[in-house]
Amino acid sequence: MNTAFWLITACLLMLVGMIWLALAKPVHWKQVLGAQANYGRHPVKALQRAGAISLLLSALACLAADHPSMAVLVWIMLLALSTFITAMILSWRPHWLQPLITVRRLTQS
């Protein structure tokens, strides 16, 4: 496959994974949902698992794009960038993250 495809996939997976890991924290959960936040239904474990799987898939996408030594460097840089982007979204426009709370809807049954 194309290298650009794998790198874009790695970027998106890393960003979504970091957002899910941030949403696993009660403070960010309340920040995104506001008055709708219900801590009894806060799926901490599901969000942590989804975030970890997304970060792992991002690492695999980096490995598919480049040789291992370069893939590790790219993955670490994506980790830093996605952490920064997640922090900026949470501090500026947290309501943008509401569509990524689908894990909550899946675990409420």
CA atoms within 13 A on the CB side of 10: 25
Give the per-residue pLDDT at 102.
Answer: 61
What does DSSP assign to residue 66? S
pLDDT band at 1; cut points 50, 70, 90: low
pLDDT tens across 43-83, in order? 888 889 999 999 999 999 999 999 999 999 999 999 999 99
With a cut of 50, say whether residue 21 has pLDDT above it. Answer: yes
- pTM, 2 dp: 0.84
Domain-wise residue ranges, the chain:
3-107
DSSP secondary structure string for all residues of 18-36: HHHHHHTSHHHHHHHHGGG
